[in-house]
Amino acid sequence: MRSVLKLLVASATAALILTPAPARADGYVSPWAAVQFGSDINNGRAGFGVTAGAMGAGIVGGEVDFGYSPSFFGTANDFGHNTVIDVMGNVVVGVPVGGTRGASVRPYVSGGVGLLRTQIDGGSLFKVSSGNNQFGWNGGGGVMGFFNDRVGLRGDVRYLRVFKGDVVNGLDLGTLNFWRLSIGIVVR
């Protein structure tokens, strides 16, 4: 009986010692504000959004980026109510300088594909309403800096472009593309 008890205690001890630690993803959410530039259509227009993601082992991960750009094409007098919405799924590669916990800095690059939606509703230049969903891509990079385990700042520069197509259905205004420079709070 004693040998069975010793075997059970030894087995339980070995199981506890040899059990792998659970894998942890470094998840984060970052609301941001941005200025967009570098397009024939839009220069210096503001936008805002949120990015949420996770980094496995702190190096490679994925994120979803949502951006909303009111009055993207110009003033409401000329273009009426006009917006661009982007929803992108990205792969992120970053190096956590200082670790994945506590105060640290993480430079990163990211890129992915998703939806770019344009909407123009009336105005003095366009008397009709038009909306267009287009498949697009984005690429960029930036840095996340954390003050402690949970809160930091994120700066990002990103290029967004549709694969092909017109900005507005039936009007050849060129291919929708622009740069976005954003800054936001990041919470992990």
Look up residue 104 and give its amino acid: S
Q: Is 140 among the domain residues? A: yes
- Cα(133)–Cα(150) distance, integer angstroms: 36
Q: Is 2 among the domain residues? A: no
Q: Are 134 and 118 in contact (CB under 8 A)?
A: yes
Band of residue 21 on the pLDDT scale cut at 50, 70, 90: very low
Residue 6 to residues 1, 3, 11, 14, 17, Cα–Cα distance (Å): 9, 5, 8, 12, 16
Q: Is 14 among the domain residues? A: no
Higher pLDDT, 183 or 70: 183
Q: Is 6 among the domain residues? A: no
Q: Is 73 among the domain residues? A: yes
The model carries a pTM of: 0.78
Per-residue b or e along 105-114, where b marks 16 or more CB atoms closer than 10 Å to that residue's CB: ebebebbbeb
pLDDT, position 186: 96
Q: Are 62 and 28 in contact (CB under 8 A)?
A: no
In 3-state terms, what secondary structure has residue 164?
A: coil
Indicate which CATH number applies to the domain containing 85: 2.40.160.20
List the alpha helices (DSSP H) in the chain.
2-18, 76-79
Query: Percent of the chain at pLDDT above 90?
Result: 48
Domain containing 74 equals 26-187
Q: How many separate domains does the chain show?
A: 1
**CA nearest neighbour of 116 among 167, 63, 43, 41:** 167
Q: Is 19 among the domain residues? A: no
